[in-house]
Amino acid sequence: MSRPRWMNWALAAGAGALALTLLLPTSNRTMPRPSALQENPQKEHASKQRLKVQDIKATDLLTRVDAKQHLGMMLNKTATMNEAQITRYMKQLQDSHGHIRSIQLMNTNGTSSKRFDRTVKPAGRLEQQKLNHTWNLAKQAVNKRQSFESSSFPMGKEKYFVVGQPSKDGKRAVIALFSQNVLNAVEEHQRKNLRMIPYPREGKFRIESVHPDTLNEITVKTGHDNANASHFYENEIVIRFRQDPSEHDMRIIHSDLKTQSARKLGYTYVFRSETMNYKQLHDYFGSKWNPLYMEPHYMYLTNEAPAEQTDVTIPNDVLFSDYQWNLPAIETNRGWNITKGNKDVIVAVVDTGVDVNHPDLKGKLLEGYNVVKPGSKPMDDVGHGTHVAGIIGAIVNNNEGVAGMSWYNKVLPVKVLDNSGSGTTYAVAEGIIWAADHGAKVINMSLGNYADAQFLHDAIKYAFDRDIVLIAATGNDNTERPGYPAAYPEVFAVSATDPDMNKASYSNYGDYVDVTAPGSSIASTYPDNQYAALSGTSMASPHVAALAGLIRSLNPDLSNTEVMDLMRQSVIDLGDPGHDKYYGYGQIDVYKALRAASGSSAPLQFWPQHVRQQMDNTLKKHIR
């Protein structure tokens, strides 16, 4: 690999070893305060513990939904296989999914049973008895044509659960033991990144802890402007309840509306009535259920798209509807009717690497580069980069796991951080330059530090001068102190919001913030073919990187500065009107941004460039 001359010069001069670390939350204060005094250790530890537990609970739910999906696939795929084919299939499955420790395929009439075990070491007789008892309960359930799911139970240092599922005709069944080692991984990951233990270790990079300069008190405003409601479904309404309705409540609603079902997306419900129009539905829910908000189910038209393609796209990815609140919150589904991306527009993830074998990223990853260990694949040994990559590009509509924001954009993994989640300025700079030289149109950087390193800034300028959109997370210390690379003028800075569209309590803020994006308990891919929920501005940044990739897919004529201006102006305005230091210009709106970027209606501020491009294209057609 050849390097630019200035880069060799910098290496020869001995680039400083400023460490940049992953941007997961390092604080979870509930509100900025005017005093810079630190919270007492007990309160600080308690708030960090709550956030860690929240992510672990969400990850537990993800593992269970994923497990049930695997059992359904096993039953379907083995239905027509002979014994040799089944044995081969199970070996391949367990080789690629190490957390599936035991599988038993059986006929519910007891005529046939085959079991496939991996090493499981109960710590003692009681644990073995617990496993045997749980397995027998699963057998009893599936023999009655009922599904089974156990609570988590420990064996050794790991937690496990058992799932049983009968086939649709009830004649066959599968029982499996799943390890929840991912919970231990998420807990350890968050213990480090929440600074509940010393991390990174002082002796490695000589890093001192960073304390915020100022914390100013604010009153956070929330909400979404719903003024333009001229096009919506007459007999439908979108509702977010203050508390999810019970089954009894839903039966009452279905009876009152004379409907059989409701659609649920994240925290909101879409109801359709055969007898009421929108105004009647609004009056009904307002008077009887006192919801948090009500709004029309808007219709929308994309440029040159037939009317039947204007419905909201709901992917069949197993975890989407119940766990990926983040994508509907930023209108990703509606945006997919305008573009789903383009394989020629590459989004680089400069991070800890990516699990290149993850089935939900298969076909979406390019070869990439490992700065930490040149010549090796950019494999993720931390989990962070895999999670970031999944937010951008997990395969959509494959009946598995999560949905990424882009259906078609390729992801270029560049490993610049080692297995501690840290790396030097040189490594990060080399990774940025390598990505710039290998086709990246967008670069995501969910990493940072509070020191302004000119060496890193030069690498940023190198990529920026090559028309690349650079996106970075602001940091997670709830401080106004600028973090780098996010605070460089060439970089688009992203802070985090929670599901209520508040500034996330851990998210940094400041005048340099461009926009916000969802960052709390985000479900995405995780190493070893698993899924996890993590929180941080690290999770917010790839939402914006994916949006930039979609914009460049739709309108490749826009320059990097035009893409950034467009994203700033196509937002849900939160906080004070216009730009403010807590939300930047607001939370990204994928649909609004893609409408503005569509070639047939160039944004007004880009009109001269758009016209020039149209003229150039016309001239090329007629002049040889």
Taking the domain 332-607, which CATH number applies?
Answer: 3.40.50.200
Question: What are the structure tokens assigned to 178, written together?
Answer: 């799943």
pLDDT in tens, 500-527: 899 988 889 999 999 999 999 999 999 9
Average pLDDT over residues 433-439: 96
Question: What are the structure tokens assigned to 147, written together?
Answer: 């599904």
The identity of residue 336, as a single letter, is W
Model confidence at 406, pLDDT cuts 50, 70, 90, reads very high
How much is the pTM? 0.72
Q: Which residue has the tokens 């004649």?
A: 171
Q: What is the model's pLDDT at position 390?
A: 97
How far apart are the C-alpha atoms of 504 and 379, rounded to whole Å?
A: 30
Q: Which residue has the tokens 């069944």?
A: 173
Model confidence at 8, pLDDT cuts 50, 70, 90, reads very low
How far apart are the C-alpha atoms of 403 and 392, rounded to whole Å?
A: 9
Catalytic residues: 351, 384, 538
Q: What is the model's pLDDT at position 70?
A: 86
C-beta of residue 592 within 8 angstroms of C-beta of residue 331 = yes
Residue 84 phi/psi, 5-degree rounding, is -65, -40
How far apart are the C-alpha atoms of 460 and 430, rounded to whole Å?
A: 10
Q: What is the model's pLDDT at position 293?
A: 81
Average pLDDT over residues 601-606: 43
Q: Exposure string (b/e) for 417-441, b if CB count within 10 Å is 16 or more?
A: bbebbbbbbbbbbbbbbbbbbbebb
- SS3 call for 378: coil
- SS3 call for 136: helix
Q: Which of 192-201, 350-359, 612-621 has the lowest mean pLDDT?
A: 612-621
Q: Which residue has the tokens 């994240």?
A: 266
CA-nearest of 601, 602, 564 to 585 is 564
The radius of gyration computed from the CA coordinates of the chain, to the nearest angstrom, equals: 26
Q: What is the model's pLDDT at position 188?
A: 78
Question: What are the structure tokens assigned to 473, written together?
Answer: 């997370």
- When the pLDDT of each residue in the chain is averaged and rounded to a whole number, the result is 79
Cα–Cα separations (whole angstroms), residue 590 to 345, 546, 547: 17, 10, 6
Instruction: For CA atoms 386, 392, 393, 396, give the dihedral sign.
Output: positive
Burial class (CB within 10 angstroms; exposed 0-12, middle 13-18, buried 19+) of 51 = buried
pLDDT at 618 over 60: no
pLDDT in tens, 559-598: 999 999 999 999 999 999 999 999 999 999 999 999 999 8
Q: Which residue has the higher pLDDT, 52 or 578?
A: 578
41-182, which class in CATH?
Answer: alpha beta
Q: What is the model's pLDDT at position 236?
A: 77
Average pLDDT over residues 196-223: 35
How far apart are the C-alpha atoms of 562 and 548, rounded to whole Å?
A: 11
pLDDT at 17 over 90: no
Greatest Cα pair distance, the chain, in angstroms, is 84
Q: What is the model's pLDDT at position 308?
A: 33
CA-nearest of 393, 392, 414, 441 to 543 is 392
Model confidence at 191, pLDDT cuts 50, 70, 90, reads low
Model confidence at 304, pLDDT cuts 50, 70, 90, reads very low
Model confidence at 413, pLDDT cuts 50, 70, 90, reads very high
pLDDT in tens, 219-255: 323 222 222 222 345 677 878 888 888 888 988 988 8
